[in-house]
Amino acid sequence: MSNSSQTPSANQSQAPPGTIVCGHELSYTPETSRIPTKSVEYLSPAYLISLDAFRQGLNLNFGPNTCQVTGDMMQLMVVYPGALPVTVTLLQRLQQGGFLRLEPHTALPLALKMQIQSAGWHMITPGDQ
């Protein structure tokens, strides 16, 4: 009589693909063991100079049509490919490039507020240019 123990396969012990962990969507395939494929950061629109400058900063940092921005006048959610170094946030990187204000507005300028309202919830999506 053979004594065979059943062990779970490698696929059963792994987390499902696309699981969001600590702001990063991780890939759990053996070839790309825990490499972040997407990152999520939240920004206050009070840092925006204009939506065009914001879009230009995202395009220069991550490539054209690779980021998705959703939100409203209270908060923007930016989804971008890969991950930034732990010591640098998206806000800091865009501020260093001159694409965002160094200090936030106390109140959004009317022109920027109207621009955000007219764009609705989906403001910048891949392929909208």
Q: Strand 68-71's sheet: what is its strand order?
A: 20-21, 24-27, 35-43, 76-81, 68-71, 122-124
Residue 5, pLDDT > 60, answer no
pLDDT at 121: 53
Shortest CA distance to 80 belongs to which of 93, 69, 67?
Answer: 67
- Angstrom distances, CA of residue 62 to CA of 10, 25, 89, 126: 33, 16, 14, 11
DSSP state of 32: G
Is the pLDDT higher at 84 or at 14? 84
Domain assignment present for residue 11? The answer is no
Asked if the structure places residue 113 within a domain, the reply is yes
Q: Is 66 inside any structural domain? A: yes
For residues 5-29, average pLDDT: 44
Residue 53 has φ and ψ, to the nearest 5°, of -65, -40
Q: Which of 44-48, 49-53, 83-87, 108-112 has the lowest mean pLDDT?
A: 83-87
Among 33-37, 44-48, 101-105, the minimum mean pLDDT is found in: 33-37
pLDDT in tens, 58-114: 999 888 888 888 887 788 889 988 877 778 889 999 999 999 999 998 888 888 888
Q: Which candidate, 123, 34, 33, places its Cα nearest to that of 25?
A: 34
Asked if residue 62 is part of any domain, the answer here is yes
- The count of structural domains within the chain is 1
Residue 18 lies inside a defined structural domain of this protein: no
Q: Tell me what pLDDT residue 120 has.
A: 63
The answer to whether 114 and 120 have CB atoms below 8 angstroms apart is no
Residue range of the domain that includes 117: 41-74+84-124
Q: Is residue 36 part of a domain?
A: no
Phi, psi of 83 (to 5 degrees): -145, 145
Q: What is the pTM of this model?
A: 0.62
Q: Give the whole-angstrom CA distance, residue 71 versus residue 123.
A: 8
In a domain, 106, yes or no: yes
Query: What mean pLDDT is predicted for residues 27-41?
Result: 64
Question: Does residue 1 sit within a domain?
Answer: no
